Every structure is written in structure tokens, then in C-alpha cells.
Amino acid sequence: MTELKTVQGVTVALLSGELDHHTARLMRCEIDREITEKRPRRLVIDFSGVTFMDSSGIGLIMGRYKLMNERGGSVTVARPPVYIKKVLRLAGVDRLAPISDTLDDLLPAEDYAKEAERIEQTSGQTN
Amino acid sequence: MSRQAVRPINEMSVSFPALSENERFARLAVSGFLSQLDPNIAELSDIKTAVSEAVTNAIVHGYRETKGEVSMQVRIFGGGRITIKIQDKGCGMEDIEKAMTPLYTSSPEEERAGLGFTIMATFMERVRVKSRPGKGTTVLLERTVQGKQRL
Ligand SMILES: Nc1ncnc2c1ncn2[C@@H]1O[C@H](COP(=O)(O)OP(=O)(O)OP(=O)(O)O)[C@@H](O)[C@H]1O
Ligand SMILES: [Mg+2]
């Protein structure tokens, strides 16, 4: 599942559930639609609700990096659980997209408090 | 060699059509069967990831997302040794060594990272691949499961 929110040029994509070749297709489509419509300068992919990820997740990050890079924007990978970090590290994802353990400083200042709270609530529900 | 002589303590086989929906099923079937070894979370996560890579490869490369049957066999030996065999009767590979090179992918346009075999090799202790063009591919994954109580 993908929950998208764009505030002041920052798109947060909150992914939840298992990320494999089967589920990546829809997640990719939904993120790309948001990016194409809202044209953010930064895409934050929030992995806090992802319970499983294989190389399809790496493909998804690489593809979004390419898309954002073409538009002069950046991608940040946020809050990956330990088992996902292992795959990210193996793939050397941090060379393309920095990995952050929190959402602090990633969201626009004014909306940050409100947004963090909302995301906190949503990830609580979907787990 | 003498490998055939070692008999598994337990084993299971499943086969399923090459549908992407079954990638998740394959992971769950393996982790369900291996629960008797009481694997710890890290071991289970590693094994599920490796299985997912091999099964996804059978579906997307072996059968090129067309009809086909994927079969999987899991065996448990003494000392927590496990083997997982994933087999397809799809297109096969010309050059296995090249296919197993980190970052090599035959389909970059599908946003593939070329990391499936690298993940299998890192998360399992041994990966063996047999493949024949036009006949299909067999991937054999091996490792030991320590389990929770032995940690
Ligand atoms: N079962 C198979 N049948 C035919 N070819 C295969 C099979 N498995 C792998 N290959 C070939 O080996 C290559 C490398 O596989 P690998 O899993 O490492 O990367 P990938 O599948 O291309 O990308 P990723 O796994 O990162 O999404 C594939 O691109 C494909 O050409
Ligand atoms: Mg693969």
C-alpha cells in the first residue's frame, strides 16, 4: 500500500506491507503519478511500514532516483527497519539516496509537526 | 558423491503457476515449513528474501511473465542444515557466471537492479545454479539454521 502526501515541494510516500515484484508495480505507478502531477523537489520514501523487501525494492528506489534526478530533485530513504537496511546496504543505495532514521528535517518546517503526527497515526493503523 | 546418501529428516514440495501473486505464497510456505526449526527473525528474513529472489527470477526471467510451473522443494537435515530447490522449465540461461555477476541484469528497462543472485549468495551459505537454454533453471540454496534457543 502507498500513502502519498505532497507539502511545499516535498512528497512523502509512506509504503506499507510487503515490497516484492508483485506489489512494487502498483507502488511505482502511484508514486510516479504523484511526482508527475506535483513536481516536488524532494521525494521521501518512508519504509517504516514495510514488513518485507527484496531486490524489487532496490529497483523501485533506483527508478525513482532516476526520475527525480532528471528533474533536478532528490530522493531520501526514511526509517527502514533493520532487515531492510541489510538489503539497502548490500545494494549501496546510500550512494544515490541518503538513508535517514527519522523524518525530522526532511519535511517542510511549518507542516512538520502536523505531518509527523499524521504519519505516526497511519503507520500505527496499517501495521 | 555421498551427498545423496544423507537422508533428510523432513521435506516438502510444492508447485504453483508462475504468477507474481505466488511470490508471497512461496515465502510463506518456506517459512511455515521451517518453523519447526524455530529460526530466529534474522534467519527467517534472510531465507525469505533469498527464496523471493529465486522465485521471482523463475517468473520474470524463466517464463518471461507467461504461463509456466514453478516447483520448490525444502529439505531439513541434521544440525539445522536446510536446502531449498527452486526450479522452472523456462528459457534457461546461456551464461550462468555472467548472470550471477553483481548488478548484471538482462532487463534494466524493467527497473531491475541485477542483485537477485548477490542477495541469494549473501543471505544463504551456498548457491548452486544449473541451467540449460530452452530447458529451464534450477537454483539450490543451502544454509544452516541456528534457531532461537541455540543463540
Ligand atoms: N530462472 C531464470 N531463468 C532465466 N534467466 C534467469 C533466471 N534467473 C536469473 N536469470 C538471468 O540472470 C540475470 C540476473 O539475475 P538477478 O536476479 O541477479 O538480477 P535481475 O533479476 O535481473 O534483477 P533483480 O533481481 O535485482 O530484480 C537476470 O537478469 C536473467 O537474465
Ligand atoms: Mg532477480
Q: What was the ipTM of the complex prediction? A: 0.92
Strands in B136-144's sheet, in edge-to-edge order, are B10-17, B69-76, B81-88, B136-144, B126-132
Q: Residue B56: what pLDDT?
A: 98
**Residue ranges for chain B with pLDDT beneath 70:** 1-4, 149-151
Chain A and chain B share a number of CB contacts under 8 A equal to: 59
Ligand 1 pocket, B87 CB below 6 A?
A: no
Which amino acid is present at A86? K
Q: Residue A120 pLDDT more than 90?
A: no
Q: Which ligand lies nearest the alpha carbon of B118? A: 1
- Is any ligand 1 atom within 6 A of the Cβ of residue B99? yes
Per-residue pLDDT, averaged over A87-96, amounts to: 95
Percent of chain A with pLDDT over 90: 80
Quote the ligand 2 centre to B88 CA distance (angstroms). Answer: 14
Q: What is the pLDDT of residue A127?
A: 43
Choice between A126 and A119, residue whose per-residue pLDDT is larger: A119
Domains contained in chain A, CATH given: 2-126 (3.30.750.24)
pLDDT at A109 over 80: no
Pick the CATH number of B11-144 from 3.40.50.920, 3.20.20.70, 3.30.565.10, 3.90.1150.10: 3.30.565.10
| B110 CB within 8 Å of a chain A CB | yes
What are the structural domain ranges in chain B? Answer: 11-144
Q: Taking the C-alpha atoms of B114, B115, B120 and B123 in order, what is their torsion angle to the nearest 10 degrees?
A: 180
Distance CA B81, CA B7 (A): 12
Q: Chain B 20-49, CB below 8 Å of chain A: which residues?
A: 20-21, 23-24, 27, 41-42, 45, 48-49
Option in A22, A59, A86 nearest B23 (CB): A22
Chain A interface, best mutation among B51, B111, B141, by max A CB count within 10 A? B111
Top-confidence residue, B84 or A123: B84
| pLDDT tens-digit series, residues A15-45 | 999 999 999 999 999 999 999 999 999 999 9
Q: What is the pTM of this model?
A: 0.91
Q: Give the residue among A5, A1, A67 at the shortest CA–CA distance from A34.
A: A5
Of A21, A58, A63, the CB nearest to B20: A21
Average pLDDT, integer, range A98-126? 72
- Residues whose CB is under 5 A from ligand 2 (ion)? B 57, 116
Chain A, nearest residue to B107 by Cα: A59
Q: Which residues of B are catalytic?
A: 53, 57, 112
**What gap in Å lies between CA B30 and CA B149, rounded to an integer?**
20
